[in-house]
Amino acid sequence: MNELDHLRRMRADVREPGIEELALRTGWRPGGDRSPSRPRPLSPLPLTLSGAAVLVAAAVFALLVLGPVDATDPDTVSVGPVPGVSDGAEGTGGVEEVMGPVVEAARAQEADGGAWHTRTVRGSSRSAGSGEERYGIYGLQVWETWTAMEGGTTTSRVVSTDWSLIRQEDQDAWERDGRPTSWPHDPETGSGEVPPDMSDLGPPDEGRPWSYPFGTQVLTFEELQALPSDPGELSELLLDASGEATVDQTVQSIAHVLEYPLPPEVRAGVYTVLMRVPGARPLEGATDVSGRPAVGLAYDGGSGESGEYEHHLLFDPETGALLSDELVVLEPAASETAWRRPGDVTTYRLFESMGWTYEWPE
């Protein structure tokens, strides 16, 4: 069975979000008004879609952006210049001052519950419109995943797919184009249909044993729970000893580990490893892509003909939870300046909720 077949199996009976649900999630209202952002209860212990689910995620992003076929108004996420973009200042003291409380909050959490649950919004941007009137849109997917602490089996499902404008100010361009809710394949960028046909995906992926890539190893659930908490030992497991990996590759690899159902003391150790990655810069007074207050770390996200970027990991300073993993534009590629500007978030994983629970999907 290939990845697309797997996705099709997961889609049956998936409920599309209504206008009110979409508005609550992004704070957008018709007419351009923005409601106050809602705080969401979060606890600091995440999980990833690893093993076979990594293939599913790869297929998802190969399809790129998705959208509700029956939508009448776009679900607009207004990103704009991101508060807290780092000013290039480095220094271990600044990082420790910002991240120290996050580490301690993560360590203080209790692994209390029969299952580990995450609800994640994945956003990936692309160009829409035509000529000089092009504008940016996000393809959005909401995923939920449960991992049973007894046996370590995982159930995951796509909750909804939709799309949004990247910036509120692009609504006029969208209106000019006739308020489309789907876009064709873009041969210049290779971006797929928006939205693709997701109507025949099957039921949730239920009760599968999971594996967890961790550095150069692949761990079972039991091995994951037995990891050391010492940052030095974790560094030996997580970091590329050859030194060939870029900073961004290293950060991406570790960031996915933060989704795993790690014991609290191990999570705190992984946070410390992230603090010690060369070039880590502190972020204060930041907000994630949904507007939640955050602190965090910034790293070089790569530069070249495709533009210059900064990688942000944002945390709740009170609970130690990972709120968002974002790639922020510092300088857009020349071909994208019509719709992508410094401060825009180009891709992200927004963790709406995560933590231990006694509930299980119906």
211 contacts 154 by C-beta, under 8 angstroms: no
In a domain, 128, yes or no: yes
Rounded Cα gap, residues 93 and 83, in angstroms = 21
pLDDT tens column, 140-189? 889 999 999 888 899 888 888 888 999 888 999 999 889 988 888 778 77
pLDDT tens column, 194-246? 776 555 555 566 778 888 999 989 999 999 999 999 999 999 999 987 888 89
Rounded Cα gap, residues 271 and 72, in angstroms = 42
pLDDT over threshold 60, residue 324: yes
In a domain, 362, yes or no: no
In a domain, 360, yes or no: no
How far from 359 is each of 42, 107, 114, 123, 203, CA to CA, in Å? 15, 24, 8, 27, 19
pLDDT over threshold 50, residue 13: no
Structural domain boundaries enclosing 332: 3-354
In a domain, 133, yes or no: yes
Total domains, the chain: 1
Backbone angles phi, psi at 128, to 5 degrees: -135, 175
Say whether 53 sits in a helix, a strand or coil.
helix
Bigger pLDDT: 327 vs 68: 327
In a domain, 13, yes or no: yes
In a domain, 361, yes or no: no
